[in-house]
Amino acid sequence: NIMLHRFGILISASRIITSNPFQFNSAHAKLPSTTMTRLNATKSGARTALDEMSPDGSFKRVDAAWRNKISKEPGSMFPPEKNRYHLYVAYACPWAHRTLMTRAIKGLEDVISVTVVMPVWQKTKPDDPNDSHNGWIFADKTSGKVLKNSAGLGGPFPSSYPQNEEDPFYNAKSIREIYEMAGDKDGKYTVPILFDKWSQTIVSNESSEIIQMLNSEFDEYATSPDIDLEPEDLREAMQSVDSWIYPNLNNGVYRCGFAQTQEAYDVAIDELTAAFDRVEDILSRQRFIAGDQFTLSDIRLFVTLLRFDEVYVVYFKTNTRSVANSSVLLNYCRDIYQMARVAETVDMHQIKEHYFCSHPDLNKLSIVPRGPNFERMLKERHNRDDLGIKRPKISVSDDEKSPPPSEASVVSSI
């Protein structure tokens, strides 16, 4: 049990005691360089996705900067433990949605706590006229303040929703403050964040690696430990599909939407359209994207397809294709949406409010299109049973075993 004592903080392998936890950051603990990994990924100065542009006008996403691992290996700085870790997420963000889905499917709700930030970006240093950063903020449950977009237009937006929370640990007002508290010097303040409550630092902000950790490292505590979303026999197939779905679809929608030249857009939309058709072809022949079993690759694909018609077709100009117009992909999305615990991770209202109201450069007055009510379509019966039977068998309690909502109870996504 290694003990460190610096700046009035007593640190052990199992707990931390501090009189002022908000002032703690990872540099204080001087953790071994082999176990603490923070990449200098944002030296370009990118602070939001809108800043990640190349000279030719194409969108170039910057890699996540915090890349530590929770591991069951002996001596791990971040071992899996119940109630030690916390997720900061947004319902709106597809990368964060990956982690919410994986946590729900594995049954880790009582193991890893969650705070959901507000959907509409606001100024993160509102009292500093020289700081122009806009980003994720926490709910404000007490002021009743009415908000506009970061340009002072649009809205009005509430300062809280029932499902969004204030920061439970540090009274931080924005996700930026969590990064700064952890000693971040890179300046791209994204969700999801996998946070260690005991050492009070960021473990990871790379969603693809967080979902792998949630799948494999917490089975001792999970209510559905038998579900393996990255089975050994499908890993090669998963890596193969991920390798082209990520750049051309997951990130491809952003490459279309944030392109700043016609040439950059044309390249991105051609590659997205080809990938969309390739996904459709694969899923016309098998139930899931990597084979006959639901995997992390399906989670990665679903969160993009879920947002495609309601947001990306309009906002990101991906209108060469539509999920609703593809019987294969619509039924694939229905199949996943109707799995136990998945629908509760979906908030289409916050998805749309984030995209259409957070970027005044793209939508000055933050007007939200009505849309096709795609989530209503997902509640209709799917036809995927004939293509395979290996949906995850999720353990649910008696109070979760409820019939699907009636048509009258379906709430509009607007």
DSSP string, 258-320: T--SHHHHHHHHHHHHHHHHHHHHHHTTSSBTTBSB--HHHHHHHHHHHHIIIIIHHHS--TT
Q: Cα Rg for the chain, rounded, in angstroms? A: 21
First to last CA, the chain: 53
Active-site position among 85, 88, 91, 93: 93
* Positive or negative torsion for Cα 259, 206, 177, 113: positive
Active-site position among 91, 179, 189, 254: 254
Distances from the Cα of 184 to the Cαs of 54, 63, 304, 328, in angstroms?
24, 14, 28, 43
Do 10 and 3 touch, CB atoms closer than 8 A?
Answer: yes
Q: Is 174 helix (H, G, I), strand (E, B) or coil?
A: strand
The answer to whether residue 254 is catalytic is yes
DSSP string, 60-126: -PPPPSBB-----STT-SS---TTTEEEEE-SS-HHHHHHHHHHHHHT-TTTSEEEEPPSS-EESST
The answer to whether residue 256 is catalytic is no
What is the three-state SS of 198-231?
A: CCCEEEECCHHHHHHHHHHCCCCCCCCCCCCCCC
Do 213 and 226 touch, CB atoms closer than 8 A?
Answer: no
User: Which residues are known to be catalytic?
Assistant: 93, 254
